[in-house]
């Protein structure tokens, strides 16, 4: 039976991520060492030792999650525990890790793309005063109505009963204060550096499009789903456009996950720190079995 791989996005990072992988796997060690060489700075130290403030920076966090996800896959391969993979998807930044796993680009090319994406988004964060909030309960139309009322954007459609808004920090605060009136149980502020997947990221999206223009992308070797539409994507040019659009548009994670389920996937490996995607999966499809693989002890024996 094939297994689907799903990859973490920003917010999943934690100081110490990947350390036990490197302590127990030559393959993981190689991935982190190569990342340091490609980037020209010490990503490994940022992941293992922090501080958390540094690891949370967009320019650091995005490469860290990409490298960590690849390290998990390569450790599985090294140990002879890499299953037949029937499809892949990733949440936000994780979509790039999924594309690497699907054979769209090699590790170094993907890391360069991720690093530039993170750098451009960091610049957009610093040029604006953005924030995000997670709405619990309520329905999707109410989330769109609340976003429109307070001039912010719907950024994530994560699972039934959880939607994320993104935009100017003051406007997000107003939306949070109005959330219960709009039918939501709670509005939780997110610890992020800016307004991801909103119109405030448009300068980053424009520059990212120019950067991707001459990057070599191949046709995926296995099904991969894009956050932009929640549908499978295979044409390399369409993949590039989806990555650009994703920077400023809503992440349709529930649709991506359901797309994997529609392929017959019932078992999932969450490759990344924490268990955020496993938690979302329980709200999307109760029959899905998700194993969260973040550190060496999490790997199948």
Q: Which residue has the tokens 């991935």?
A: 31
Peptide bond into 51 cis (omega under 30): yes
100 is annotated as an active-site residue: no
Taking the C-alpha atoms of residue 222 and residue 11, their distance in angstroms, rounded to an integer, is 27
Taking the C-alpha atoms of residue 242 and residue 225, their distance in angstroms, rounded to an integer, is 10
CA-to-CA separations, 43 to 47, 58, 138, 205, 272, in angstroms, rounded:
6, 13, 40, 24, 16
In the set 25, 92, 134, 249, the catalytic residue is 92
How would you label 59-91 residue by residue, b for 16+ Cβ within 10 Å and e otherwise? Answer: bbbbbbbbbbbbbbbbbbeeeeebeebbbbbbb
Q: At 5, is the secondary structure helix, strand, or coil?
A: strand
In the set 197, 198, 249, 292, the catalytic residue is 197
Taking the C-alpha atoms of residue 199 and residue 250, their distance in angstroms, rounded to an integer, is 10
262 is annotated as an active-site residue: no
Other beta carbons within 10 angstroms of residue 112's beta carbon come to: 16
Other beta carbons within 10 angstroms of residue 110's beta carbon come to: 23
Q: At 103, is the secondary structure helix, strand, or coil?
A: coil
Which residues are known to be catalytic? Answer: 92, 197
């Amino acid at each position: 039976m094939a297994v689907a791989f799903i990859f973490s996005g920003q917010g999943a990072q934690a100081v110490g991520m990947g350390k036990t992988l490197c302590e127990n796997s030559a393959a993981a060690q190689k991935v982190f060492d190569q990342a340091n060489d490609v980037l020209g700075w010490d990503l490994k130290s940022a992941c293992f030792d922090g501080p958390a403030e540094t690891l949370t920076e967009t320019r650091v966090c995005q490469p860290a999650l990409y490298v960590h996800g690849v390290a998990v896959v390569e450790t599985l391969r090294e140990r002879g525990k890499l299953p037949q993979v029937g499809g892949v998807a990733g949440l936000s930044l994780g979509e790039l890790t999924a594309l690497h796993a699907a054979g769209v680009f090699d590790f170094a090319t993907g890391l360069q793309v991720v690093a530039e994406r993170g750098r451009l988004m960091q610049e957009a964060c610093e040029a604006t005063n953005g924030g995000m909030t997670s709405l619990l309960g309520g329905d999707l139309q109410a989330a769109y109505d609340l976003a429109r009322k307070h001039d912010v954007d719907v950024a994530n459609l994560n699972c039934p009963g959880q939607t994320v808004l993104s935009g100017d920090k003051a406007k997000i605060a107003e939306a949070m204060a109005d959330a219960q009136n709009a039918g939501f149980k709670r509005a939780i502020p997110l610890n992020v550096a800016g307004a991801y997947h909103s119109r405030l990221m448009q300068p980053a999206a424009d520059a990212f499009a120019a950067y991707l223009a001459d990057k070599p992308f191949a046709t995926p070797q296995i099904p991969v789903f894009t956050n932009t539409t929640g549908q499978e994507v295979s044409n390399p040019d369409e993949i590039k456009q989806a990555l650009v659009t994703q920077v400023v548009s809503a992440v349709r994670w529930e649709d991506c996950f359901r797309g994997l389920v529609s392929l017959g996937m019932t078992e999932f490996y969450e490759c990344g720190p924490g268990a955020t995607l496993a938690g979302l999966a329980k709200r999307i499809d109760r029959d899905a079995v998700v194993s969260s693989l973040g550190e060496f002890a999490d790997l199948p024996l």
